[in-house]
Chains A and B, each alone.
Chain A
Amino acid sequence: MSIFDILFYLFAAAIVLSAAFVSLSRNIVHAAFSLLFTFLGIAGVYVLLSADFIAVSQILIYVGGILVLIVFGVMLTNRVTNIDIRAAIRSRIPAFIICAGLLALLIAFITQAHWIRYDEEPWKKTPWGKNAVEQVTKPLQGSVREVIDQQGSQGTAAEIGKLLMSDYMLPFELLSIVLLVALIGAAMIARQEAVQKKRPLSPSLPTEVSQ
């Protein structure tokens, strides 16, 4: 077991534990902080999978962007009223069955060799299977220094950049439409009412409509 394997299992444990904490925690702020560790752990795994650009993006976008947004959401909705937004866990049997079923299904597939081993029948006969076998058999053991020497690469950023500007140019441009829609939509929905109000907004609206 190389140092990379040990690191991977450490990260994996961190990811799973902190994720479980996110979905179980009774305190929303603790959940948000726990999410930070999940994101960082995943970034660590990306590094181990030599996806350096994605690892950095993970930290920038998820930690720097989305998590900050979530914390803002927590603060904005918490401060204003000081209502108790600690969440209780619903006891819901159907939800439990769905989760258990999904987990069983996924675990069953993971433990079946054909699902994942590109170096076994029937995968190794496929073109990508052959490619994958070469990829896996490429030795990637030893110290960090040795691996860096072996790889000798400039990282993946350059290649991803080239792909985004050539083969994946259209999706890259379409992404701008997605961002534009989100930007306009968020501004539209969260802004204070500019139009004159026809009737006053009363917080004491009847809360129980027909169930």
Chain B
Amino acid sequence: MTGFTVSARDIYGVMPLLILAGTGLVVLLWDAFEKVPTRTPLFLTILGAIAAGAAAIINLGNTGRIFNGMILNDAFANYYAVLFSVGVVIAVLLAERYLKEEEVLVGEFSGLTLFSACGMVMLASGNDLIITFLGLETMSIAFYVLAGLFRRRRESNEAALKYFLLGAFSTGFFLYGIALMYGTFASTNLDTISKALENPTTAHAALTSPMFWMAAGMLLVGFSFKVAAFPFHQWAPDVYEGAPTVVSGFFSTAGKAGAFAALILIFNIALGPIALDPGAFTKMQTLLAILALASMFYGNITALSQMNIKRMLAYSSVAHAGYMLLGAAALNKEGSTSVTIYLSVYTLMQMGAFGVVALLEKESGRGLELNDYAGLGRRRPWLAFIMSIMMLSLTGIPPFGGFFAKYYVFAAAIRSGLTVYAVLGMIATLISVYFYLRVMVVMYFREPEEGTAGIAVSGSGTVAVVGGDTISAWTALALAAIGLLATGLFPIILTDVAKTFYAP
């Protein structure tokens, strides 16, 4: 095995990662040497993210295992690289005006965003638990800093501290999982683990040992923290509330996508051969499905009572992690495809919702209560319209992408024998209708109360015009809304993606 040397093919294979990291460096340096803040870092970031996405698409012609089996450069990895790039572009576009208001340099934000995207690319292409670990850490460390980006805001500091402590805590569990996997299979390479599970002798040794289950459980605990699934979600509402709104949006979409990509690579692909042992297969499925159901119900029920919009979105993101876990619980390729589709749509809708919240947020975090949205439908009809699209899509109502995303996830679960769980999941979805539609009801049918700081009335007032400063934000919102409509009206886009995914 030793004596590996790098070839050009290896370098091309990690091109998206290199471009993201390089752009991050350039943006940070530009920021450091710039006397008067300009928009250049913003453009550089977008350019870099687009270049990374393009490199990922070009990469599709160059698939295979590279760097001595460390990286699996396939359709899956490159699809996610494109998804992360889209996430970065939307986040940066949304952030511009928002950051200016808080006097944070765009370069700092976009540099860290790019580096965290680097970590996500590692997660989605890692074919070795070492790469997965490094990706998770790159992403998380960048996130800790992003959460505390508003240095002068106490809530932001506290969110960063809490995220950091719980993130490091969960890293401990994740690493223990890796260590026990290593003890079970004598390797951290996912291919080796997969092969060992295909071989009856070694599979028997592994699957009958508590060590394997302990390892799987610990890895799952680690992932549950990162995707904010039920018993380990406690950090999410507080961190999403305290962190800058745009950053929260990025955590809950791209960050979740990164962690789910790695979860799928480990549980659905590497541990896929577990299906050869029906007993173990059912055990693993039940483990994931119960976690999924708990997240769905807990997230949706708690969201019912939230009056702060960011907390509501945080609990809704817990529920969405549940839907995706149910897709992953199918433990087959169909399941992993359905989760990928869900993540693509979810990134657009959640990011869009957080974007609207960021546009409406006022200095030092005011204007975040549900009541502040009263009368929005009259004062700022376009913004209310966009928010309605996001809410309807998050609920899963047909003309938007959210419907098909849910459909594929539940279909995958039912086809792999998780019918009961899927039915319960649909009931959980019904609960969510209430609090998503409540936002719309407040926007369109409730008048702002006198004396409250309704966003629509006070302050800078009734700016229904798209101001020069918010052009970038509007571009991002339009991008998300059009994406949702497109995937909702032409779900063939999604199914095509699914088909090309596992093409030989």
Q: Which residues of A contact B (CB under 8 A)?
A: 105-106, 108-109, 112, 114-116, 122-123, 125-129, 131-132, 162-163, 166-171, 174-175, 177-178, 180-182, 184-186, 188-189, 193, 195-198, 201, 205, 209
**Set of chain A residues within 8 Å of B183, measured between Cβ atoms:** 116
7 closest A-B pairs by CB: A128-B186, A185-B145, A122-B205, A170-B67, A126-B202, A166-B4, A109-B210
**Set of chain B residues within 8 Å of A196, measured between Cβ atoms:** 103
CB of A178 within 8 A of CB of B131, answer: no
Q: How far is the CA of A123 from the CA of B112 in the complex (A)?
A: 45
**Set of chain B residues within 8 Å of A178, measured between Cβ atoms:** 134, 137-138, 141
List 16 A-B pairs, Cβ < 8 Å. A114-B209, A114-B210, A115-B211, A116-B211, A125-B201, A125-B202, A128-B185, A128-B187, A132-B186, A169-B6, A169-B68, A170-B10, A170-B131, A177-B119, A186-B145, A201-B152
Q: Which residue of A lies closest to B71 (CB)?
A: A170
CB of A171 within 8 A of CB of B134, answer: yes
**Set of chain B residues within 8 Å of A162, measured between Cβ atoms:** 2
CB of B214 within 8 A of CB of A189, answer: no
CB of B130 within 8 A of CB of A171, answer: yes
CB of B145 within 8 A of CB of A188, answer: yes
Query: Which of B14, B145, B155: most chain A Cβ within 10 A?
Result: B145
Q: Which residues of B from 1 to 30 have beta carbons under 8 Å from A?
A: 1-6, 10, 14, 21, 25, 28
Q: How far is the CA of A175 from the CA of B141 in the complex (A)?
A: 12
B354 part of interface (Cβ distance < 8 Å):
no
**Set of chain A residues within 8 Å of B211, measured between Cβ atoms:** 109, 114-116
Q: A128-B185, A169-B6 are in contact. Are A115 and B210 (CB under 8 A)?
A: yes
CB of A177 within 8 A of CB of B151, answer: no
Determine how close the nearest CB of chain B comes to the CB of A118; give it in whole angstroms.
9
**Set of chain B residues within 8 Å of A195, measured between Cβ atoms:** 103, 105
CB of A184 within 8 A of CB of B111, answer: yes
Q: Which residue of B2, B112, B131 is within 8 Å of A181 (Cβ)?
A: B112
Q: How far is the CA of A126 from the CA of B206 in the complex (A)?
A: 9
CB of A182 within 8 A of CB of B130, answer: no
**Set of chain A residues within 8 Å of B28, measured between Cβ atoms:** 184
Q: Categorize the interface residue count of chain B.
A: 35 or more
Q: How far is the CA of A171 from the CA of B130 in the complex (A)?
A: 7
Q: How far is the CA of A62 from the CA of B214 in the complex (A)?
A: 27
**Set of chain B residues within 8 Å of A131, measured between Cβ atoms:** 186
B204 part of interface (Cβ distance < 8 Å):
yes
Extra 15 A-B pairs, beta carbons < 8 Å, given A127-B202, A131-B186: A109-B214, A114-B208, A114-B211, A122-B205, A166-B3, A169-B68, A170-B67, A170-B71, A171-B130, A180-B25, A181-B141, A186-B145, A189-B148, A189-B151, A198-B103
**Set of chain B residues within 8 Å of A182, measured between Cβ atoms:** 141
Q: Which residue of B lies closest to A128 (CB)?
A: B186
**Set of chain B residues within 8 Å of A129, measured between Cβ atoms:** 205
Q: Which residue of A lies closest to B185 (CB)?
A: A128
B160 part of interface (Cβ distance < 8 Å):
yes
**Set of chain B residues within 8 Å of A128, measured between Cβ atoms:** 185-187
Q: How far is the CA of A177 from the CA of B68 in the complex (A)?
A: 20
Determine how close the nearest CB of chain A comes to the CB of B221; give it in whole angstroms.
10
Q: How far is the CA of A76 from the CA of B6 in the complex (A)?
A: 46
Q: Which residue of B lies closest to A184 (CB)?
A: B28
B198 part of interface (Cβ distance < 8 Å):
no
CB of A185 within 8 A of CB of B131, answer: no
B142 part of interface (Cβ distance < 8 Å):
yes
**Set of chain A residues within 8 Å of B119, measured between Cβ atoms:** 177, 181
B191 part of interface (Cβ distance < 8 Å):
no
CB of A177 within 8 A of CB of B138, answer: yes
CB of A188 within 8 A of CB of B205, answer: no
CB of B214 within 8 A of CB of A177, answer: no
Q: A166-B2, A195-B103 are in contact. Are A181 and B115 (CB under 8 A)?
A: yes
Determine how close the nearest CB of chain A comes to the CB of B456; give it in whole angstroms.
23
Q: Which residue of A123, A197, A205 is within 8 Å of B154 (Cβ)?
A: A205
CB of B70 within 8 A of CB of A171, answer: yes
Q: Which residues of B from 113 to 152 have beta carbons under 8 Å from A?
A: 115-116, 118-119, 122, 128, 130-131, 134-135, 137-138, 141-142, 144-145, 148-149, 151-152
Determine how close the nearest CB of chain A comes to the CB of B294; give it in whole angstroms.
16
B108 part of interface (Cβ distance < 8 Å):
yes
Q: How far is the CA of A128 from the CA of B154 in the complex (A)?
A: 52
